Structure 1
Amino acid sequence: MADGGLTVFDGSLLREATVSADSLFSASGDGDPTTIDGAHLLSEAESVASSLLLGLSLPENLKAATLRRLGFDELSFRSLHFNRESASETLRKYVAAVADELRDDPFVVSVLDGSIIRMLLEDEDDFAMLAENLFTELDRDDTGKLCKSETRNALAQMGVEMGVPSPSDVSLLALLVNAKSDDLLDDILRKHGAEGEELLGQAQFANLLQAVLQSLADALGLKPIVVIQDIKVINGSKIRQILANEELLLDTIDRIFDKQTASELDGGSIRKFRALLEKDGTEFGLPLAGSNEALVLLYDQVFGSLDIQNDEELDKEAFGSAVKQILQEILNQMESNPVFHEPEGN
């Protein structure tokens, strides 16, 4: 798993796991209890799911949605009691429910383990260019000198794409590696003397930045950080739900067909259906096609494979059959090759 690369959490890591609540019973200091309460089981379930997701803490909305899928809210679940068998069964169901939630609404992460930083440092030419660009950008007064303290700003400008975590993520890393302070970055900067107002030339600044980055890469290598990216994964989950519900599918087809023929005497057409998907595919969990080149290419492939001419007018039965075929093919494509979509404003 490459540092800085995008990894999709879609529940597959959890589906392959074997889990048990036995440790909750054997870990008690009062012998072997016959039951445990829901609060302890919920804490264990969240911990198990987190460990299977590379240590990422479950977002609150994911935890709430998982309990709803099991038919509980947090308060009612915590009030329950479980014996050894029912606890293990419920734990398995919880992990499976998290997997199902991630299948329907996956998210994208970057795993920062220091590898991109190390690759950057190993390529002398690439690093020299990066250091020069950062120096020029931070030297706003064009003095040819920078304070040592600007090293922190250089790291902030590099960002997750270059494998450098944000300040909040670095604070988390400090706890994971038992740093001397709550901010690992402070420790690293202090270690290399990258604080204060002493002025450095470009070459000196590059040498200091190199040393700081090496220490940060070493820390990430010991304890990688998983960072959630604000990128939506479009994998056809809403289309899957429509296709799995015959009544919903027929109702959807009826509404689309009626809308197309409301002001015309002819029937529906594939061209009009594609235009609907491109302009407003939210009903099918799809973003605007104009803002996503991968989605346009997918549409070209799916609609280009049809035997029906795009402009051919179809009656409701033929139109419904074509729509179903199109949705199924879009789903097939997205299940194997999800489309990534960055929300507007990012």
Structure 2
Amino acid sequence: MADGGLTVIDGSQLRSVDLSLPESSATLTGARVIELAESRASSSLFGLALPETLKSAALLRLNIDAGSFSGTELDEDEAAAWLKDLVNAIADELKDEPLVVAILDGNTLRLFLEDEDDFAMLAENLFTDLDTEDKGKLRKNEICNALAHMGVEMGIPPVSEFPQLNDILKKHGAEGEEELGQAQFAQVLQPVMQEIAEALTAKHVVVIQNIEIINGSKIRKILADEKQLTNVIEKILHEEEGGERNMGEIRGFLEKNGKEFGLPPSKDDEAVVLLYDGMFSEVENRDNAARLEKEESVVLMKEILEKFAEQLEASPVFHDLDN
């Protein structure tokens, strides 16, 4: 998907990855197999550098200690089996905790550059935003700040993911203290954006977004573990003497503390409020104020969690962690 939109990486992209071993691989070390798995996964995920947390979680799924496994010598069959298991573990981890990425390929920048009016408006808005003292002048080195102001949403990768940006700025004289008027600012900005677009066309940049996808995976893990499920339900019910709660109290507790159990936060999110409304309307019709016996509360809580897991799997909630 081109920049201007977001792509969800949920592991499905890895289900048909090439798992063949390199030639002359009669004996491989565990470290080399891990490297191959990460490389094959990255290639199938638009060149994304796999986060360390993802790599560690995949190893943990297979009960692999990276230190001891790295030095292990594997024959061809063992290496092939481990390669398959490692890639599948990465895919499974992404299924449970998908990533949201922006793939920057220069398209958004080209849209601005190809329309004179759009580019003029963009340059004017950037100039106005950066000219905080209303002097009508900006230093050349403010071009870098203008690009940062545009950000990923407008197709500009962060410097950490696009180190050649400094060379592009230098090449086009977008450095130093010389002051520019608005028209001059636009004249310097345009070729910089053009070269960034060309560089991104040649090699896309993938940027992970700070967005959590809540898809019910955590709830399903709780439901599959009887001990963990019991602990969660007791935590929900323990605040009331005798474990009695009514429906309204159960909903209030989940809305306030549900993130701990894999539920989306409902504060200021109309879609999530509607999700809660739908979930509780599906539960057996009861008087919201009526007290529930502890055993009845336990059964009801399990039913509620099951319904949340089912609904979130069908319609995941995207939670922007920056807001």
Q: Tell me the TM-score normalised to structure 1 length.
A: 0.83
Match of 1:322 among 268, 286, 300: 300
Residue 164 of structure 1, CA deviation: 0.6
Q: 1:18 to 1:43 in 2, by over 3 A?
A: closer
**Preserved contact between residue 20 and residue 92 of structure 1 (Cα < 8 Å):** no
Residue 294 of structure 1, CA deviation: 3.3
What SS class does the counterpart of residue 290 from structure 1 fall into?
coil
Match of 2:88 in 1: 96
CA distance in 2, matches of 1:279, 1:312: 21
**Preserved contact between residue 64 and residue 73 of structure 1 (Cα < 8 Å):** no
Match of 1:77 in 2: 69
Q: 1:261 to 1:103 in 2, by over 3 A?
A: farther
What SS class does the counterpart of residue 72 from structure 1 fall into?
coil
Match of 1:227 in 2: 207
Which deviations, in whole Å up to 9, do the C-alpha atoms of 1:294-319 show, x marking residues without a partner?
32232122223334233343334443
Residue 279 of structure 1, CA deviation: 1.0
**Preserved contact between residue 292 and residue 341 of structure 1 (Cα < 8 Å):** no
Match of 2:197 in 1: 217
Match of 1:202 among 173, 176, 182: 182
Which deviations, in whole Å up to 9, do the C-alpha atoms of 1:127-152 show, x marking residues without a partner?
33321121122223433233333222
User: Does the alignment pair 1:297 with 2:277?
Assistant: no
Task: Supply the AA of the counterpart residue of 1:311.
Answer: A
Match of 1:181 in 2: none
CA distance in 2, matches of 1:280, 1:64: 27
Match of 2:20 in 1: 20
CA distance in 2, matches of 1:269, 1:297: 20
User: Does the alignment pair 1:9 with 2:9?
Assistant: yes
Residue 124 of structure 1, CA deviation: 4.0
Match of 1:175 in 2: none
When the two structures are aligned, how many residues end up with a matched partner?
A: 322
Q: Tell me the TM-score normalised to structure 2 length.
A: 0.89
User: Does the alignment pair 1:331 with 2:301?
Assistant: no
CA distance in 2, matches of 1:82, 1:292: 51
Q: How does 1:149-298 map to 2 (within 5 A)?
A: 149-171=141-163, 184-262=164-242, 267-298=244-275
CA distance in 2, matches of 1:274, 1:142: 51
CA distance in 2, matches of 1:329, 1:123: 49
Q: 1:194 to 1:257 in 2, by over 3 A?
A: closer
What SS class does the counterpart of residue 245 from structure 2 fall into?
coil
Farther-moved stretch of structure 1 (240-249 vs 49-58): 240-249
Farther-moved stretch of structure 1 (248-257 vs 101-110): 248-257
Q: How does 1:47-58 map to 2 (within 5 A)?
A: 47-58=39-50
Farther-moved stretch of structure 1 (209-218 vs 87-96): 209-218
Task: Supply the AA of the counterpart residue of 2:7.
Answer: T
**Preserved contact between residue 18 and residue 40 of structure 2 (Cα < 8 Å):** no
Give the percent of matched residue pairs that are identical in Structure 1 and Structure 2: 52
CA distance in 1, matches of 2:144, 2:271: 36
Q: 1:90 to 1:146 in 2, by over 3 A?
A: same
Residue 287 of structure 1, CA deviation: 4.9
CA distance in 1, matches of 2:140, 2:127: 11
Unpaired runs of at least 5, structure 2: none
CA distance in 2, matches of 1:304, 1:152: 52
**Preserved contact between residue 264 and residue 317 of structure 2 (Cα < 8 Å):** no
Task: Supply the AA of the counterpart residue of 1:60.
Answer: E
Residue 94 of structure 1, CA deviation: 0.1
Q: 1:251 to 1:167 in 2, by over 3 A?
A: closer
**Preserved contact between residue 108 and residue 154 of structure 2 (Cα < 8 Å):** yes
Which deviations, in whole Å up to 9, do the C-alpha atoms of 1:24-70 show, x marking residues without a partner?
xx1xxxxx453222122222122112212221222222222222211
Superposed CA RMSD: 2.5
**Preserved contact between residue 11 and residue 100 of structure 1 (Cα < 8 Å):** yes
Which deviations, in whole Å up to 9, do the C-alpha atoms of 1:211-230 show, x marking residues without a partner?
22122112111111111222
Moved over 6 A (4+): none
Farther-moved stretch of structure 1 (11-20 vs 214-223): 11-20
Task: Supply the AA of the counterpart residue of 1:238.
Answer: K
CA distance in 2, matches of 1:38, 1:165: 34
Match of 2:60 in 1: 68
Match of 1:147 in 2: 139
**Preserved contact between residue 260 and residue 272 of structure 1 (Cα < 8 Å):** no
CA distance in 2, matches of 1:320, 1:291: 29
Unpaired runs of at least 5, structure 1: 27-31, 172-183
**Preserved contact between residue 253 and residue 323 of structure 1 (Cα < 8 Å):** yes
What SS class does the counterpart of residue 20 from structure 2 fall into?
coil
What SS class does the counterpart of residue 220 from structure 1 fall into?
helix
Q: 1:282 to 1:147 in 2, by over 3 A?
A: closer
